[in-house]
Amino acid sequence: MTTTRHVTRLATVLTGAAVLSFSLAAQARELSVSTVLPDAFPWGQAAEKWADLVEERTDGELTLRVYPNSQLVSGDQTREFSAMRSGLIDAAVGSTINWSPQVPELNLFSLPFFMPDEAAVDAVTGGQAGEMVFEAIESRDVIPLAWGENGFRQLSNSQGPIDEPTDLEGLKIRVVGSPLFQDTFDALGADPTQMSWADAKPALTSGAVDGQENPLSVFDVARIDQVGQEHLTLWNYMNDPLIFAVNRQVWESLDEAQQTILRETAIEAGEWEIAMTREQESERLAAIQERGVEVTELSDDQLQAFVEATRNVHDDWIAQIGESLVEAAQADIESR
């Protein structure tokens, strides 16, 4: 009789444990997070940091699974926002450049020579213009949570130093799939060639394109100098903030506590990544120079020549971006 009761109790305990285990498993939820670059780059590290913080703060109740290399959109980074908007992707740490075809307001950050330094970028993302950009994203059924940073984009090529617009004449430069980039390099006399990042390095290796533009972190980690890019011009012609965001339906399916954690951890991961990216800039530049890359730093007069050469591009794109947004950004910059 005692043995029977013992077995019965044991079965009850095991059943209860199984039910509890099933209940916890049912409560746990995994969200997909898309990024273009893996965690060898600050961009990918930002997404991984976000995932780590979310898992820690929710005790695993909510987890983020990071999918780098744009694998959720078959390598086409310009489709990332559309996929998130439609629900094929739950969340992303994405580039303002890559999302700009679907959110024209994001072209603000790609206006040539509009934001002169990091303080200007911070003034815009943290000011009225930043709020307006987030409102534009949210109006398209994606909830923006925080800012990160891919950095100022620099110009490299395999043909020779570039310190004036005429040096770009006829050079085939790989650019992302954004009409604003096409217009900018057309104005400089180059031959812009649109292709995804997945195709860029092979094209540089084969000589199908002469140059490319990317932040120092990408140039350094991807070892772009190994594919003939022996000349680098520091011109800070545009900045590429990153945005942490979530599909609206996914966001609304979360409870208030989960939403708070997701937003707070995104902000924390973004601040961490921005600081890290900026702190590493001088170290990366030194490493690039040590590998034999010729670095050209423009004087104020040389930089102004590029500004003048692209002024019409700036003026033409204001209407597409939104005059009120550009004016708000200008006011933010002037108030920094």
In a domain, 16, yes or no: no
In a domain, 120, yes or no: yes
In a domain, 217, yes or no: yes
Place of tokens 């209407």: 319
| Residue-number span of the structural domain to which 62 is assigned | 30-334
d(CA 155, CA 254): 42
In a domain, 8, yes or no: no
In a domain, 139, yes or no: yes
211-214 and 172-175 as β-strands: parallel, antiparallel, unpaired?
A: parallel
Residues 78-94 pLDDT 10s: 999 999 999 999 999 99
Residues 240-260 pLDDT 10s: 999 999 999 999 999 999 999
d(CA 153, CA 210): 17
Supply the pLDDT for residue 264: 98
In a domain, 102, yes or no: yes
d(CA 298, CA 226): 24
Distance of CA 141 to the CA centre of its chain: 19
- Give the up-direction half-sphere exposure of residue 250: CA atoms within 13 A in the CB hemisphere: 23
Does the model's pTM come out above 0.85?
Answer: yes
What CATH number is given to the structural domain containing 129? 3.40.190.170
In a domain, 17, yes or no: no
What's the domain count of the chain? 1
Residues of the chain above pLDDT 70, percent = 92
Q: Does the pLDDT at position 13 exceed 70?
A: no
Supply the pLDDT for residue 177: 81
In a domain, 3, yes or no: no
Supply the pLDDT for residue 165: 98
Q: Does the pLDDT at position 295 exceed 80?
A: yes
Supply the pLDDT for residue 28: 87
User: 317 near 325, Cβ under 8 Å?
Assistant: no
Residues of the chain above pLDDT 90, percent = 87
